[in-house]
Structure 1
Amino acid sequence: MPLKASQTKENAKQTGYVDLGLLCIVLILVGFGLVMLYSTSAYNGLIKFQDAAYYLKKQLFATILGVGVMMVVANIDYHFWERFAVLAYIVSLILSGLVLVVGSEINGSKRWLALGPLSFQPSEYAKVAVILFLAFLIVRNVKKMGKIKTMFLIMLSVLPIVGLVGTNNLSTAIIILGIAVILIFVASPKYMQFIGMGALGVGFIAIFLSLESYRLERLAIWRNPEAYEKGYQTLQGLYAIGSGGVFGRGLGESMQKLGFVPEAQNDMIFSIICEELGLVGAVLVILLFLLLIWRLMVIAGNATDLFGALIVTGIMGHMAIQVILNIAVVTNTIPNTGITLPFISYGGTSVLFLLAEMGLALSISSQVKEVSPPKA
């Protein structure tokens, strides 16, 4: 359904609709994620912290906080955030810059800012900020979106955050860039010019890959993981997927999570899902994400204005890109980029901002109008 700057006010009836389908899917994913997280992380928690529920407790705290944030955001008119869109983007630039200077390094990656006993990953916040910022920019330039200059300038405006985040987190930078491309694409009346923009995007990513030798090494590991020590995680993940068969070993019965797949509760959790629940479980998880994306698509197509439609489209793009990349990495379809599976992988900051995004989508769905056909 084409995105419009506004819906016709005449013949429109406010329904007060809330997308319960979306809410149920999100809660199912969150609940399933907590179950799988405990199953996957109990061994690591016991070995490292003498507490099998260590990771579950931290994730449960972030999830409860996230659900609270989701409900608060869902009950706030989404137009409220429009006035803070530019500020939110500026804050994301500042926080991402601070990571480079005073960021905490965990597992060899400097992606966190320490907040007392807690740690915060600004790149997760940046995804939400970019969605709001781009929706704001596009709405104000909607009549000029057919011009290549306008599209280029809007894309150029997000490159600073892509560059800052991409310095230590290429996978998230790719997601942010993908969100930008999707939003500009759906708002543009012309599509052929995306060929040139696509070429620029490929060139931009190629430059990022060549700046650090470890990124080029990942390409070599992807092509032949058996020949590299760092290919160990990929191989163990594939062993887990293969050993699960059709119905899996059973919940909690994975062997690969017992130290064979490093940090299995993070990026590689999908491989443990495949091992414990088999092909059937993996397909059901993918279907849940497809339903989530479908509900977001329905909300975007029925939003009352362009700003709301673009926000939900950005959230939908974020979900789709991240799920596809995670599963592609776990199955070694693409090089390992260190990307989490939404709502399921361990990560407090991630689940908090994912639920905040769902709150935005629910807020927009609550203002959907039922437009009756005009009278003859």
Structure 2
Amino acid sequence: MERAVTAQKKKRKRTGTTKYIDYTLLLMIICILGFGLVMLYSTSAYNATLKFGSSIYYLKRQAMSAGLGFVLLYICVKLDYHFFAKFAGVAYLLATVLCLAVNFVGTSSHGSSRWLNIAGFSFQPSELAKVAVILYLATVISKRPMAMRTFKGNIKLLATILPIFVVVAYNNLSTAIIIVGIAFIMVFISSPKTAPFILAFVGVALLAVVFIFGTYRQERVQIWLHPENYDTGYQTLQGLYAIGSGGLFGKGLGESIQKLGFVPEAQNDMIFSIICEELGLFGAICVILMYILLLWRLLLIATNAKDMFGSYLVIGIMVHIALQVILNIAVVTNSMPNTGVTLPFVSYGGTSIMFLIAEMGVALSVSKSAHVET
């Protein structure tokens, strides 16, 4: 018996398989976050000075939220990620209740009621909803792998996401789209049958088109197609001016003109346009490459996770970040109608960055037990 164990260890050593924590992923998180804080200050300093009398107002709040996020990251790394499976159902129910509460006791900003004030702390429950859905789906898929082999089982699982989707979509359609995107892709990956999913996707797409063109959201489509004809298309046009004026290498860090009141709330959803103006096409490509490297590390962890639960946890996190990056850049470049999605780790948003960093902690926790060929 001892000889067999020794032989197995030697074989593992020869193939280069080892247990580790993914420090490359941690480095990528720090790099993107550091870049985000620099660009946030550059983008928001003028607006913060006018509104609050302090150029570092947004930077300070973002840094505090990021600091809290790293505390959560540390806790998540220290914990065995299987610990979170125990609270999957509770987290999903809590997120649904909090998102529902926003409709009744939430605070409004820019015409949308998306925040809850708890003990003086402003909190956006929809960010918790994304994490809860990832945790819930990863738990169910790993516990019922055979059910995922049938289309009926897939539909039943997706149907359980419907309550939180409806609740979130009432006030925050963009986040609801991300939630259903995460759910659809995670369930799609868990199923060996692709044809039914393609048909389902076409059906959902047709329903979405009918919904958009049959409601007040049709105006968003018209603004997307002809922003110059609408007052609300002002932000889109100014963002495009910023991108176009940046050229190949940009005007230089801090030299943006459009951030001086021309692009409303530039530190939020439209920060990528200021990145393009100050750092040019070169800077924009570098940002996209950083996200690609981040997603690549997450893919490696998901592929080499020791069990299905860990793998699907990281897949959900990877899909979450990928969807937000794609949707944000598509909106800023006017490739799709405005959805109000932030750029991960870069856009201003305390709740968003806190949960994103915490998600990275979960991914690092999975990486500790992953077997990766070195």
Interval of TM-score (by shorter of Structure 1 and Structure 2): over 0.9
Pairwise CA distance, 1:66 = 0.5
CA deviations 1:194-250 (Å, max 9, x no partner) are 02321343255346536751x221101000000000000000000000011111111
Question: For residues 348 and 313 of structure 2, what CA distance do their matches in structure 1 show?
Answer: 25
Q: TM-score, normalised by structure 1?
A: 0.93
User: In 2, Cα distance between the equivalents of 1:127 and 1:207?
Assistant: 26
Cα distance in 1 between the residues matched to 2:12 and 2:97: 42
The aligned counterpart of 1:7 is: none
Q: Give me the whole-angstrom Cα distance separating, in 2, the residues matched to 1:19 and 1:315.
A: 15
Secondary structure, aligned partner of 2:108: strand
Matches within 5 A, 1:301-312: 301-312=303-314
SS in 2 for 1:142: coil
The aligned runs of 1:54-203 (5 Å cut-off) are 54-203=57-206
Mapped contact 1:12–1:370 kept (Cα < 8 A): no
Query: Aligned in 2, Cα 1:370/1:53: closer, same or farther, shift over 3 Å?
Result: closer
The aligned residue for residue 262 of structure 1 is 264
Counterpart-to-counterpart distance in 1, 2:84 and 2:255: 45
- Answer yes or no: is 1:29 the counterpart of 2:32: yes
Check the 8 A contact 1:12/1:369 in 2, yes or no: no
Q: Which stretch has the larger CA shift, 108-117 or 30-39?
A: 108-117
Indicate conservation of the 8 Å contact 2:19/2:372, yes or no.
Answer: no
| AA in 2 matched with 1:223 | L
- Per-residue CA deviations over 1:105-144 (Å, capped at 9, x if unaligned) read 0111111001233210000011000000001111122112
Question: Structure 1's 370 and 242: CA in aligned 2 closer, same or farther, altered over 3 A?
Answer: closer
Question: For residues 359 and 114 of structure 1, what CA distance do their matches in structure 2 show?
Answer: 26
Q: Moved runs in structure 1, 4+ residues, more than 4 A? A: 11-14
SS where residue 251 of structure 2 aligns? coil
For each residue in 1:73-122, what CA deviation from the matched residue of structure 2 results, as whole angstroms up to 9, or x when unmatched?
A: 01110000001001100001100100011110011111100123321000
Gaps of 5+ in 2: 1-10
Residue aligned with 1:264, SS:
coil
Residue 164 of structure 1 and its aligned partner are, at CA, apart by 0.8
What TM-score comes out, normalization by structure 2 length? 0.94
> What is the match of residue 340 of structure 2?
338
2:331 is the counterpart of 1:326: no
Q: Structure 1's 117 and 141: CA in aligned 2 closer, same or farther, altered over 3 A?
A: same
Indicate which of 246, 251, 254 corresponds to 1:244. 246
SS at match of 2:257: coil
Report the CA distance shift for 1:165/1:75 in structure 2 as closer, same or farther (over 3 A).
same
Identical amino acids, percent of aligned pairs: 55
CA contact (8 A) 1:29 1:344 kept: yes
Hey, what's the Cα distance between the residues in 1 that align with 2:88 and 2:32?
28
Instruction: Report the counterpart of residue 229 of structure 1 in structure 2.
Output: 231
Q: Is the 8 A contact 1:15 1:367 kept in 2?
A: no
Alpha carbons 1:124, 1:353 under 8 Å: kept: yes
Residue 300 of structure 2 is aligned to residue 298 of structure 1: yes
Counterpart of 2:283 in structure 1 is: 281
Listed as ranges, the gaps of 5+ residues in structure 1 are: 1-10
CA distance in structure 1 between the partners assigned to 2:71 and 2:214 by the alignment: 41
